[in-house]
Amino acid sequence: MANDDAVEVTGEKESDQETGNPGAKRMKATIAKHDLLFHSTHGLCRVVAVTESAQSAEISYSLLPVSSNRAKVRFIIPESSLENSGFSKPISVKEAHAILEYFKTGDKKDSECGQAWTQSVMIWTESCGKSSVKDARKRQRLERSVKGLASELAFVLKITAREIADRIQKNMGSIANINPLVLAALSNVEKD
């Protein structure tokens, strides 16, 4: 049966010791039809349906990417898997500015958490690193993090991903030698 009403989703994140994230806390969101959710790889997606299974009484969300794609991809995510799926509500404008400020200082508050912050910390850490990323998976994760973060910040701040990449690079000016792989990922932010 279809349910177009808002549904409150509560998922308990792993404890601070398990995740290593001192800002881990309860995620609480109200998700309704037509809401936008963001995924670092798939980009912005719209909730096109909220359904409840007759057998298990579990809520599922049907998500459709906002960008036009030829494959007509649709994601169906059960409520119990929403937090682990990588989909989340887009960050606020205030959070977007805090992330850009983080790239200037490298200082992050414990209360600042979520997918966008995880990507930011990973990019900052790799920027400061002297070694090149030889592992192909790690390099790919870095590239996806840069593209995902840039596209989410671009959406929230209503500017292009290229402008975000330029701001991130400018803000990281305090790092003497930015890792070349991070610079390459920033320069390729709009390429597929």
**Structure confidence at residue 99 as a pLDDT band (50, 70, 90):** very high
**Single residue among 85, 104, 123 that ends a domain in this structure:** 85
Show the tokens assigned to 121: 């910390």
Question: Per-residue pLDDT tens for 49-93?
Answer: 999 888 878 899 999 888 766 567 889 999 888 878 888 889 999
- 54 & 97 share domain: no
The residue with tokens 């887009």 is 90
Question: Per-residue pLDDT tens for 146-189?
Answer: 999 999 999 999 999 999 999 999 999 877 788 888 999 999 99
> What is the structure's pLDDT at 39?
86
State which residues form the domain around 25: 7-85
Q: Starting at the edge strand that comes first in sequence, how are the strands of the sheet with 59-65 ordered?
A: 36-39, 43-52, 59-65, 75-78
Of the candidates 145, 125, 117, the one whose C-alpha atom is nearest the C-alpha of residue 108 is 117
C-alpha–C-alpha distance, residues 102 and 38, integer Å: 21
User: What pTM did the predictor assign?
Assistant: 0.75
Higher per-residue confidence, 29 vs 153: 153
97-120: burial string, b at 16+ Cβ within 10 Å, e else: ebbbebbeeeebeeebbbbbbebb
Q: What is the DSSP string of 76-87?
A: EEEGGGHHHHT-
**Single residue among 33, 60, 85 that ends a domain in this structure:** 85
- 127 & 79 share domain: no
Q: Check pLDDT > 50 for residue 191.
A: yes
> What is the structure's pLDDT at 133?
59
Question: Per-residue pLDDT tens for 121-143?
Answer: 999 998 887 766 577 888 888 99
**Single residue among 85, 107, 127 that ends a domain in this structure:** 85
- 164 & 102 share domain: yes
> What is the structure's pLDDT at 113?
84
Count of structural domains, the chain: 2
Show the tokens assigned to 165: 């990449």
